[in-house]
A and B are shown apart, each in its own frame.
Chain A
Amino acid sequence: MSGWEVVVGLEVHAELSTATKLFCGCPNRFGAEPNTLVCPVCLGLPGSLPVLNRRAVELAMRIGKALHCDIRPSRFHRKNYFYPDMPKDYQISQYDEPVNVGGYLDLPGGRRIGIERAHLEEDTGKTTHLGGGGRIHGAERALVDYNRAGVPLVEIVSRPDIRGAEEARAYVAELRDVLVATGVSDGRMEEGSLRVDANVSVRREGTGELGTRCEVKNLNSLRSLGRAIEHEAARQVALLEAGGEVVQETRHWNEDEGRTSSMRSKEESHDYRYFAEPDLVALVPDEQLLEAAGAGMPLLPAERRLRLAELLAPRGGDVPAGAADQIVTVVSLGLDDLVVAAAAAGADVRLALARAANEAARAPEAARGLDPAAFAALVRMEAAGRLSATQSKSVLSELIEHGGDPAEVAGRLGFEGLGDDALEAAVEAVVAAHPEEWDRFVGGEEKLAQFLLGQVMRSTGGRADGKAVAALLAKRRQGAPAEPGSRR
């Protein structure tokens, strides 16, 4: 593969989180009994007419905003084909005038991937092939469930800016995070609410021209996506190096066999005979739609990563080594609010990030419910030396599981040997052990405060809170007689 560059463009279909389908009032719900969410419109019965779902339009435009697209006047077309998954024998989609045009997605590694378009269309029904081993070609008959027919989809088409399998996975993961964060889709690949087709081509390194591409379908997970791209690119390189040519076609990824195979028969035509859908009128992004589309728009993952980076390295400095990956993890798992809250509460940002990326990340769902104030307090306790790293991690997992107050939890776990009494005893012991230094401190030599504090920290194994020790020393000095030699 050396000397070759892999070029990938991705088409991601995202099902929108609406209550109903795109053109009818049937519920948009996964997992219902087959053919119980259907009506004359989504069954394509004669005389039925589609009416566009306002919320689906708003969510499509929300995607446009999140991907920095130009949101434009658009219209719908009929894409004609014969296949039992659409009872109308056409799919209503957007063709030459899609709602979102242009745009980009910034990946965690810093690369910017261009977005060609993101358009609205309806999903198809679900076909199950029986007989002939389940592969499409050998099936004896098929069973069709139309619950999914008409569910609103946005198809997001990237530019061929993606280089290789790893970047393709990063793109889909980032896009999914954006869709989930903005509440547009649940992003569940395993339930089919996010589906990916990959256009893969290869070219000699240093060439500007794009090679002939193949479209790879049936990519049901990030793992499949990566494997399929690697396999397909290797297949094309082998073909070209043997002096052959890549034929533009659609190929089916077989996860079990780990290879792609040609999918369409020779007769298959790409002639979908698109024509303007006469039953639907123009869609124009007016103020009301755009306002609803942008309402409550959260910070996007790229913005949230930047927010953490700025907390770690204010004034545009470099993010400490190892922290960049932790930032990606924490943002992807939705734990960054904890770190931001901890920072706002004066806790050490680097430590808060590490605890979030390593410990909280093990149970992200529960950790998202963690009280930010408790998390901040815990990080402060650890940073102040009142808890060792090991103890802090134990307290954190307890907090994530059951909630509560970190000091109380630490006490219950027997970690907090240094209550006020113990701290006072430690200070008293140090004063008794270093009478000369204590007298000089009482006499006004401020630098001795550091010495005494250091002795307390040493005698407590670093578990004392430095601020508390300093306060105790100051308090003790106020109560001490001023003349030397008369201590205690």
Chain B
Amino acid sequence: MRLSAAEVAHVGRLARLELSEEELDCFAGQLSAILEHVETMGRLDVSGVAPLSHPAELRNVLRADEPRPCLAREDVLAAAPAAEDGRFAVPRVLGEEP
């Protein structure tokens, strides 16, 4: 499968990457090669194989609903580029709410 430059630009925008024309071409080639490589698996006949949702065939790995200690706020905020009023301060947000 060949990725177009437009598709790469779309994926780049989702990842908040600014890509030049040359980079778009370059990554289109590299990403296409990766996809084509993975596509070789598509040649396998898996009609008799049940779908697998996770390679580890475990189920219901659960923990008890019991509180555990939290981190100290000064340690948490010390790791942030900016903090204000006990909270993380982040740059202005464009209309990009989920």
Total interface residues on A, CB under 8 Å, equals 68
Does B98 touch A at the CB level, under 8 Å?
Answer: yes
**Which 10 residue pairs spanning A and B have beta carbons closest together?**
A25-B68, A55-B65, A143-B87, A54-B62, A34-B86, A84-B90, A281-B58, A144-B88, A265-B95, A51-B63
Across the interface, which residues of B come within 8 angstroms of A20, CB to CB? Answer: 65-68
User: Using Cβ atoms and an 8 Å threshold, which residues of chain A touch B64?
Assistant: 54-55
A210 at the binding interface (Cβ < 8 Å) = no
The answer on a CB contact under 8 Å between B73 and A139 is no
From B59, B63, B94, contact of A282 by CB (8 A): B59
Given contacts A19-B66, A35-B76, A35-B77, contact A84 B93 (CB under 8 A): yes
Does B61 sit at the interface, judged by CB under 8 A? Answer: yes
B68: which A residues are within 8 A, CB to CB? Answer: 20, 24-26, 39
Q: Give the Cβ gap from A168 to chain B, nearest Cβ, in Å.
A: 23
Q: Which of B14, B84, B91, B93 contacts A136 (CB 8 A)?
A: B93
Question: B43 near A: Cβ within 8 Å?
Answer: no
Q: Give the interface SS of chain A, mostly helix, strand, loop or mixed.
A: loop
Determine chain B's interface SS by DSSP, over half rule: loop
Is residue A260 contacting chain B, with contact meaning CB distance below 8 A? no
Q: Can you sample 30 A-B contacts with CB below 8 Å?
A: A20-B65, A20-B68, A26-B68, A34-B85, A35-B88, A36-B73, A37-B70, A43-B76, A53-B63, A54-B62, A54-B64, A55-B64, A75-B54, A79-B98, A91-B98, A128-B87, A136-B97, A137-B94, A141-B92, A142-B90, A142-B92, A143-B84, A143-B85, A145-B86, A263-B95, A269-B14, A276-B53, A281-B60, A282-B53, A284-B60
Interface size class of B (residues with CB under 8 A): 35 or more
- Interface pair A281/B65, CB less than 8 Å apart: no
B44 at the binding interface (Cβ < 8 Å): no
Residue ranges of B at the interface with A (Cβ–Cβ < 8 Å):
10, 13-14, 16, 53-54, 56, 58-71, 73, 76-77, 84-98
Q: Give 8 A-B pairs besides A35-B77, A143-B84, A273-B14 with Cβ atoms closer than 8 angstroms.
A: A53-B65, A83-B97, A132-B92, A136-B95, A139-B92, A143-B90, A264-B95, A268-B95
In the complex, what residue of chain A is closest to B15 when comparing beta carbons? A82
Q: Indicate whether A127 reaches chain B with its CB closer than 8 angstroms.
A: yes
A457 to B33, CA, bound (A): 99
The residue of chain B having its C-beta at the shortest distance from the C-beta of A125 within the complex is B88
Does A267 sit within 8 A of B, measured CB to CB? yes
Is the CB–CB distance between A289 and B70 below 8 Å? no
A268–B54 contact, CB under 8 A? Answer: no
A82-B16 contact, Cβ under 8 Å, with A54-B64, A289-B60: yes
Is B93's CB under 8 angstroms from A52's CB? no
Q: Are B86 and A35 in contact (CB under 8 A)?
A: yes
What residues of chain A have their CB less than 8 Å away from a CB belonging to chain B?
18-20, 24-27, 33-40, 43, 51-57, 75, 79-86, 91, 97, 124, 127-129, 131-132, 136-137, 139-146, 263-265, 267-269, 271-273, 276, 278, 280-284, 286, 289
- A81-B98 in contact (CB<8A): yes
**B93–A127 touching, CB < 8 Å:** yes
**Distance of A131 Cα from B53 Cα, bound (Å):** 45
Q: Which residues of A contact B66 (CB under 8 A)?
A: 19-20, 25
Tell me if A267 and B70 are in contact (CB < 8 A): no
The minimal Cβ–Cβ distance linking B72 to chain A, given in whole angstroms, is 9
CA distance A280 to B59 in the complex (A): 9
| Given A51-B62, A281-B59; A35-B73 close (CB under 8 Å) | yes
The residue on A at minimum CB distance from B58 is A281
Partner of B93, one of A37, A97, A139: A139
A33–B74 alpha-carbon span in the complex (Å): 12
CA distance A289 to B71 in the complex (A): 31
Which B residues are CB-close (under 8 A) to A283?
59-60
